[in-house]
């Protein structure tokens, strides 16, 4: 778990705002979910045999002895919340959420024990159209962030639960006599979670899988129609994809559509965003059957990819720095800047504090990256005006009243309102 310090936090805020703006433009509504949930929610929802539950979930007991957990992912929490508050039965919902998740993993680049996700979920719709909408929304996020050329969509279908169970049995029968040739993790997964073996990166295991039973021989007709309909919609939207028959995802609740947005710019941590359909999850948790589909975007990995493409620069923390020439004018200067903040709500104003010579105040204005310096002294107080100095261009200082100052900053492109 790590601290995010001011310069990095400015980049986080810039990227996160761009992502949430896309979700808002698709009319997905926000929910805010608790960090702690009953551990059973994830044991039942994600699957007791998954790596997340078996190895990675932070569990603890409350004072009554009940098992609780720091949330390792957001979908199960989102479904639980909407069920609990009666927002799923005979309704459709489009929801987004964001915040920290927790898994006890080995920390490395793009993988932390506290990490952050932005998720989008849609409920109550069974067709491939909403699957396509969520994937389209991901494509729009990458376009807005300017990283669309470094990320690709991988797509697969897992069919219905009955078809998947038949395939699972065939896969186990094929691999059991070859268990000694599997890597250690895959050998352990053979009986409890064999589909996760398809995610193995070990060459020997992958070579065995080349001759393994193919899901195409077991998939049900309805799932084929759903998958083909999704691909037609994506083709119509101009969203490129690569079909990956080994893509299964690591959570038991997925069915039919699964997808990942991956990149080669981040090494082993190449999955930036992933999701799929989970029509049975609400029933597993304890509600009535409700179709659902969604994705979770890893904010840390998105930031790493954004940095790889655009560099590590962050917006400056200050747009306009107000220098106060006489300490006795501090209160008046603060009041004047308050009026400027009202007139220019998209700008960040900082009023100098702590006194000192004008030269030192101007140095601080430059150090914090401000584009403009405001100068407030005896003459400005008497004339009810403020001095304005462009710190990034060699132009003469101006002295303006409040209304003219607001208009000057606005016409300079410093404020979009």
**What digits encode the pLDDT tens for the residues 376-399?**
888 888 888 899 999 998 889 999
Compute the distance between CA of residue 383 and CA of residue 154 in angstroms, rounded to an integer. 65
Q: How far apart are CA 262 and CA 364, in angstroms?
A: 42
Would you call 334 exposed, middle or buried from its count of C-beta atoms within 10 A (0-12, 13-18, 19+)? Answer: middle
pLDDT, position 49: 59
DSSP β-ladder status, 93-102 and 114-123: antiparallel
Helices (runs of H) and strands (runs of E) counted in the chain: 15, 16
Alpha carbons 33 and 30: distance in angstroms, whole number: 10
The reported pLDDT for the residue numbered 357 is 92
d(CA 326, CA 378): 8
- For residue 272, the model assigns a pLDDT of 95
Q: What is the pLDDT of residue 417?
A: 41
Q: Is the pLDDT of residue 181 over 80?
A: yes
Task: Give 32-66 pLDDT, tens digit per residue.
Answer: 999 999 988 888 877 765 667 777 888 888 888 88
Coil/strand/helix, residue 130: helix
- Whether residue 408 is predicted with pLDDT greater than 80 in this model: the reply is yes
In 3D, which of 306, 416, 269 has the Cα closest to residue 12?
306
pLDDT at 323 > cutoff 90: yes
% pLDDT > 70, the chain: 97
Where are the chain's structural domains?
A: 6-160+220-310, 320-411
Both tokens assigned to 65: 């002895």
CATH of domain 6-160+220-310: 3.30.930.10
Find, among 392, 391, 417, 393, the residue nearest to 406 by Cα: 417
Q: How far is CA 267 from CA 44, 166, 304, in A?
A: 32, 34, 11
d(CA 374, CA 190): 68
Q: What average pLDDT does range 339-351 have in this prediction?
A: 93
The tokens describing 38, both together, are: 């009953």
pLDDT given at position 157: 92
pLDDT value of residue 251 = 63
Reported as a single tens digit per residue, the pLDDT across 273-304 is 999 999 988 988 888 999 999 999 999 999 99
For residue 416, pLDDT beyond 60: no
Q: What is the pLDDT of residue 195?
A: 78
Distance (Å, whole) CA 160 – CA 222 = 8
pLDDT of residue 94: 97
Spatial CB neighbours of 413, under 8 Å, sequence gap ≥ 6: none
Q: Report whether pLDDT(352) > 90.
A: yes
How far apart CA 214 and CA 164 sit, in angstroms, is 11
- The confidence score (pLDDT) of residue 226 equals 96
Q: Return the CATH superfamily for domain 320-411.
A: Anticodon-binding domain (3.40.50.800)
Contact predicate 408/398, CB 8 Å: yes
**Average confidence score pLDDT of the chain:** 89
Q: Sheet holding 59-61: strands in order across?
A: 36-38, 67-70, 59-61
Q: What is the pLDDT of residue 57?
A: 82
Integer Cα distance of 295 and 119 in angstroms: 6
Q: Which pair of structure tokens corresponds to residue 301?
A: 């990995």
Res 406: pLDDT: 92
């Amino acid at each position: 778990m790590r601290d995010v310090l001011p310069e990095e936090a400015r980049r986080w805020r810039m990227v996160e705002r761009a992502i949430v703006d896309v979700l808002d433009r698709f009319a997905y509504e926000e929910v805010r979910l608790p960090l702690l949930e009953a551990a059973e929610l994830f044991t039942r929802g994600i699957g007791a045999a998954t790596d997340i539950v078996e190895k990675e979930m932070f569990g603890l007991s409350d004072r009554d002895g009940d098992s609780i957990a720091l949330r390792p992912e957001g979908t199960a929490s989102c479904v639980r919340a909407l069920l609990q508050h009666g927002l799923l039965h005979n309704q459709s919902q489009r929801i987004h959420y964001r915040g920290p998740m927790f898994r006890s993993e080995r920390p490395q680049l793009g993988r932390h024990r506290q990490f952050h996700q932005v998720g989008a979920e849609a409920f109550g719709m069974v067709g491939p159209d909403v699957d396509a909408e969520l994937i389209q929304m991901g494509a729009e996020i990458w376009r807005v962030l300017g990283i669309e050329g470094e990320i690709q969509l991988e797509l697969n279908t897992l069919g219905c639960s009955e078809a998947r169970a038949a395939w699972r049995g065939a896969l186990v029968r094929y691999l059991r006599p070859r268990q000694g040739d599997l890597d250690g993790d895959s050998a352990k997964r053979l009986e409890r979670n064999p589909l996760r073996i398809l995610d193995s990166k070990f060459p020997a295991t992958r070579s065995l899988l080349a001759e393994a039973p193919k899901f195409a021989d077991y998939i049900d007709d309805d799932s084929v129609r759903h998958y083909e309909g999704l691909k037609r919609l994506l083709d119509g939207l101009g969203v490129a994809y690569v079909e990956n028959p080994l893509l299964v995802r690591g959570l038991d609740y997925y069915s039919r559509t699964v997808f990942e947005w991956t990149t080669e710019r981040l090494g082993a941590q190449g999955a930036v965003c992933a999701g799929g359909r989970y029509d049975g999850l609400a029933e597993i948790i304890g509600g009535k059957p409700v179709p659902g589909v969604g994705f979770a975007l890893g904010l840390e990995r998105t930031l790493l990819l954004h940095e790889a493409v655009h560099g590590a620069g962050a917006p400056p923390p200050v747009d306009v720095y107000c220098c106060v020439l006489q300490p006795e004018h501090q209160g008046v200067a603060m009041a004047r800047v308050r009026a400027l903040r009202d007139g220019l709500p998209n700008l960040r104003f900082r009023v100098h504090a702590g006194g000192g010579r004008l030269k030192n105040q101007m140095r601080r204005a430059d150090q914090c990256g401000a584009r403009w310096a405001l100068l407030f002294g005896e003459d400005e107080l008497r004339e009810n005006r403020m001095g304005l100095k462009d710190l990034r261009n060699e132009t003469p200082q101006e002295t303006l009243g409040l209304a003219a100052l607001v208009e000057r900053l606005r016409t300079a492109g410093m404020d979009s309102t």
